[in-house]
């Protein structure tokens, strides 16, 4: 017998995660925005020249649009197959996610039209003119359909046409889906490619403070402080819309279906909310959410399906942001979207937003992709959104997180994989969550005691569906 066997299993200390330095980017964007406003206001001629910095940053974001959309769509369809394979919970969860995302997009469209934020700013067109020319050449019924077909399967990702990328991504995703297990290596390869793409995107985003500085200086130089008022209107409107969506819409659905109180659920998840605000990412709280939903009485198999899938498909906050930001940019450039264009853009966003909250900036790339596919001349306006995107990211992440927590309880109720008594004990504060045993303190299954009397029983691994391998990260 080996010495290791004699002395029991070797305990390997977990590696410390790398230090998160994204808060420096956050601070840099704030400094860039304030400095841009001051320069544009006090030195208008210089501010107009600095506008080029914002334009260059927009071009860098455009560079990432097609790869981001290709990877997220292919992996999204792959996760549909994975989620559906676990049965009823996956199907119900997906139907709910699609319904709520569509509803959130529609709410964003209604609020965006009501606020009319951006009216009168008249952001000048520049870097997007060549895309407008391409769109004009493709106009017409047959021209639209022929423009969907790329020269080659791979050129769709390099040509800059978002619609071509979207179509090829759908074809590749469904092809991998049809291959079953044989397609898993291809799906894994796309997952690796996505990590590379997001790493490049993260590198580009470190230039966001410079881009925000140039964009704000240029806009304020051309329009005065009216731009600041319009941006504040958009940001405040977005925060209020997200709060009303979580409390009013999600809270009502949760109470009608389960009779659980949304405020008690939010109190239970308060620590996770603070973590999300600190990191501007809902991914940072994903392990905690899975553990807490298990502790609250939802079966682990349901938690394992709903939470990871929801992180790609249930992006209510991102959906609201995409439509409100699109309408703001159109109004700011003096080229408002007609109702048919808004509906068409909404349909595009329903598909393209899946996985858009993967990393900070992926939502920005999806926004640019939606505008480029419908009104390419509006992509230049993304530069001004960069200045407040980081301020809005917390509301997006908090809304996405809340939506996934509610969805887990709803799907648990609909599939009868939830211990109602345990949920009420937890939400009432009678059974607080113990963070020191987060990895082991989970509710095993409906009908079993939430806390086994034998401590060894609590350490037994419970089978869990792990979709994180093929999920866009948050």
* DSSP 3-state of 159: coil
Does residue 387 surpass a pLDDT of 70?
Answer: no
Rounded Cα–Cα distance for residues 177 and 172 (Å):
8
296 vs 352, more confident: 296
- Please determine, for residue 338, whether its predicted confidence score (pLDDT) is greater than 80: yes
Whether residue 179 contacts residue 186, with contact meaning beta carbons closer than 8 Å, is answered with yes
pLDDT value at residue 22: 59
User: Whole-model pTM?
Assistant: 0.64
CATH class, 29-468 region: mainly alpha
pLDDT band at 465 (very low <50, low <70, confident <90, very high): very low
Q: Which of 194-198, 243-247, 468-472 is the least confident region?
A: 468-472
Task: Tell me the sheet residues that pair with 298.
Answer: 418
Q: Where does the pLDDT of residue 331 fall: very low under 50, low under 70, confident under 90, or very high at 90 and above?
A: confident
Q: At what angle do helices 88-115 and 226-244 cross, to 10 degrees?
A: 140
Cβ-contact 91, 392 below 8 angstroms: no
> What integer pLDDT is reported at residue 283 of this predicted model?
67
Is 398:317 a contact under the CB 8 Å cutoff?
A: yes
DSSP 104-147: HHHHHHHHHHHH-TTTT--PPP-TTHHHHHHHHHT-SHHHHHHH
DSSP code at position 469: G
**pLDDT (tens digit, 9 = 90+) per residue, 114-137?**
877 666 565 555 544 443 443 444
Q: For the residues 363-383, what does the mean pLDDT come to? A: 75
In eight-state DSSP terms, residue 282 is G
DSSP for 369-419, written as a single string: HHHHHH-GGGGGGHHHHHHHHHHHHHHHHHHHHHHHHHHHHHHHHHTT-B-
The model's confidence at residue 458, banded by pLDDT at 50, 70 and 90, is very low
Nearest to 309 by CA among 355, 250, 368, 265: 355
| Of 7 and 231, more confident | 231
Q: What pLDDT shows up at residue 469?
A: 41
Q: What is the pLDDT of residues 33-88, one digit of tens each?
A: 888 888 888 888 888 888 888 778 777 877 877 787 788 778 766 666 555 555 57
Q: How far is CA 60 from CA 41, 92, 243, in A?
A: 26, 39, 32
Count of positions (residues) in the chain: 474
pLDDT at 140 over 60: no
By CB atoms closer than 10 A (0-12, 13-18, 19+), residue 307 is buried
Angle among Cα 413, 263, 472 to the nearest 5 degrees reads 65
The residue ranges of every structural domain in the chain are 29-468
Write down the residue that tokens 């197959």 correspond to.
81
| Region 266-276 average pLDDT | 86
Residue 156, pLDDT above cutoff 50: yes
Three-class DSSP category at 298: strand
Q: Compute φ and ψ for 298, nearest 5 degrees.
A: -90, 135
The CB density around residue 67, as the number of other CB atoms within 10 Å, is 20
């Amino acid at each position: 017998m080996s010495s290791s066997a004699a002395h029991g299993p070797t305990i390997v200390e977990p590696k410390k995660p790398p230090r998160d330095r994204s808060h420096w980017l956050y601070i840099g964007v704030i400094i860039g925005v304030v400095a841009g406003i001051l320069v544009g206001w006090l030195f208008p001629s210089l501010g107009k020249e600095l506008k080029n910095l914002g334009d260059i940053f927009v071009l860098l974001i455009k560079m990432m649009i097609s790869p981001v959309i290709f990877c997220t769509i292919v992996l999204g369809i792959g996760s549909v197959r994975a989620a559906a394979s676990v049965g009823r919970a996956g199907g119900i969860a997906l139907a709910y996610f699609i319904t709520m995302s569509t509803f959130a997009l529609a709410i964003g469209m209604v609020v965006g039209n009501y606020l009319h934020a951006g009216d009168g700013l008249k952001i000048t067109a520049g870097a997007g003119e060549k895309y407008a020319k391409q769109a004009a050449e493709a106009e017409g019924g047959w021209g639209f359909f022929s423009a969907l077909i790329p020269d080659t399967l791979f050129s769709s990702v390099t040509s800059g046409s978002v619609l071509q990328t979207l179509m090829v991504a759908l074809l590749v995703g469904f092809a991998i889906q049809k291959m079953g297990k044989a397609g898993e290596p291809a799906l894994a390869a796309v997952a690796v490619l996505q990590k590379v793409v997001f790493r490049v995107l993260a590198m580009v985003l470190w230039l966001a403070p410079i881009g925000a500085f140039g964009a704000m200086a240029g806009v304020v130089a051309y329009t005065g402080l009216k731009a600041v008022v319009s941006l504040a209107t958009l940001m405040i409107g977005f925060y209020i819309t997200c709060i009303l969506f979580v409390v009013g819409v999600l809270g009502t659905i949760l109470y009608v279906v389960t009779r659980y109180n949304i405020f008690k659920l939010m109190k239970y998840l308060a620590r996770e909310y603070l973590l999300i605000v600190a990191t501007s990412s809902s991914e940072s709280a994903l392990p905690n959410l899975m553990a807490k939903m298990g502790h609250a009485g939802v079966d682990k198999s349901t938690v394992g399906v709903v939470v990871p899938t929801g992180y790609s498909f249930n992006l209510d906050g991102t959906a609201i942001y995409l439509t409100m930001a699109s309408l703001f940019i159109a109004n700011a450039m003096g080229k408002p979207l007609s109702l048919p264009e808004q509906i068409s853009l909404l349909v595009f966003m329903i598909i393209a937003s899946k996985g858009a909250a993967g990393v900070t900036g992926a939502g920005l790339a999806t926004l640019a992709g939606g505008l480029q596919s419908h009104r390419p001349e509006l992509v230049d306006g993304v530069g001004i959104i960069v200045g407040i995107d980081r301020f809005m990211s917390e509301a997006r992440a908090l809304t996405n997180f809340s939506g996934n927590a509610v969805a887990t309880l709803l799907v648990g109720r609909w599939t009868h994989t939830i211990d109602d008594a345990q949920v009420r004990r937890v939400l009432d504060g009678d059974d607080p969550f113990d963070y020191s045993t987060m990895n082991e303190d989970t509710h095993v299954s409906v009908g079993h005691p939430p806390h086994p009397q034998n401590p060894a029983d609590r350490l037994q691994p419970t089978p869990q569906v792990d979709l994180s391998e093929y999920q866009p990260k948050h």
